[in-house]
Amino acid sequence: MKKEKGLLIVLSGPAGVGKGTVCGALRRENTSIQYSVSATTRAPRDGEVNGVNYFFKTREQFETMIANDQLLEWAEYVGNYYGTPIDYVRETINNGQDIILEIEVQGALKVRERFPEGIFIFLMPPSLAELRNRIVGRGTETEDVIDKRMTVARDEIEMMKRYDYVVENDQVHLAVERIKAIVTAEHCKRERLIEKYKELVEVK
């Protein structure tokens, strides 16, 4: 019987919506989902580890990766580069494992162009006021950067229509349950299984 390929799950949404928190909680509950570590030129935040949270790169290193086509997608966001190394993603899917990308909206739309069969989930805040409170609560950005992020967030929410699913992150455990339900349903889709089970009805 043919081996079913893994799913490419793309989780994105505005900065501060809780992508990292939701993704982390999802992986703790479903350890079979692999996490694709992104590369970035932004400075590490307290507690972040190179190769675990991100691959932290200089601008020169990142631009070399772009030139060598080593990124599934990349984008410049609020003065820094972000991107997804492509090899690990391909290998994981071909080995039958699911992989989740936690990326910005610009990057997600680029991935959609190259992997239209991916599962694209937009993580929504309960409100813009709550989104701003979450960004402020991180204590990592200046007021000017927060204002820029809120402007970008409004534009990103308009891009929701380009996604397959929308999940509100009102409470982390509820958001995780919704995403788990989406993944289970996608694994049961006819078009994903038809080749795998064709041999059951083939005349010998």
Q: Which residue has the higher pLDDT, 173 or 143?
A: 173
Closest-CA residue to 58 (of 85, 78, 37, 39) = 39
Asked whether 102 and 12 are in contact (CB, 8 A), the reply is: yes
Looking at the chain, the number of H-run helices and the number of E-run strands are 8, 9
Note whether 33 and 124 are within 8 A (CB). no
Give long-range contacts, CB 8 A cutoff, 24+ apart: 170-174. 170/126, 172/18, 172/21, 172/22, 172/25, 173/25
Mean pLDDT, rounded, for 25-37:
87
Q: Is residue 63 part of a domain?
A: no
Q: In this predicted structure, what is the pLDDT of residue 132?
A: 86
Specify if 56 maps to a domain.
no
Contact assessment for residue 35 and residue 84, using Cβ atoms and an 8 Å cutoff: no
Distance CA 83, CA 68 (A): 13
In this structure, is residue 165 part of a structural domain? yes
At residue 63, the pLDDT reads 96
The position carrying tokens 């059951």 is 200
The amino acid at 7: L
Greater model confidence, 139 or 1: 139
The DSSP output letter for 50 is: B
Confirm whether 171 is domain-assigned: yes
| 192 lies in some domain | yes
- So what's the pLDDT on residue 1? 59
User: What percent of the chain has pLDDT above 90?
Assistant: 45
Nearest-angstrom CA–CA distance, 116 and 120 = 9
Q: Which candidate, 167, 170, 176, places its Cα nearest to that of 29?
A: 176
Q: What is the mean pLDDT of residues 155-182?
A: 94
- Domain with residue 22: its CATH number is 3.40.50.300
Mean pLDDT of the residues in the chain = 88
Asked if residue 127 is part of any domain, the answer here is yes
- Residue type present at position 201: V
Domain that holds residue 115: 8-36+97-200
pTM for the whole structure: 0.80
As given in the structure block, the two tokens for residue 41 are 């030129």
Run of H or E residues at 30: none
State yes or no: pLDDT of 146 exceeds 80: yes
In a domain, 57, yes or no: no
Name the domain count of the chain: 1
Structure confidence by residue, pLDDT tens digits, 49-105: 998 888 999 999 999 999 999 999 888 888 999 988 888 888 889 999 999 998 888
| 2 part of a folded domain | no
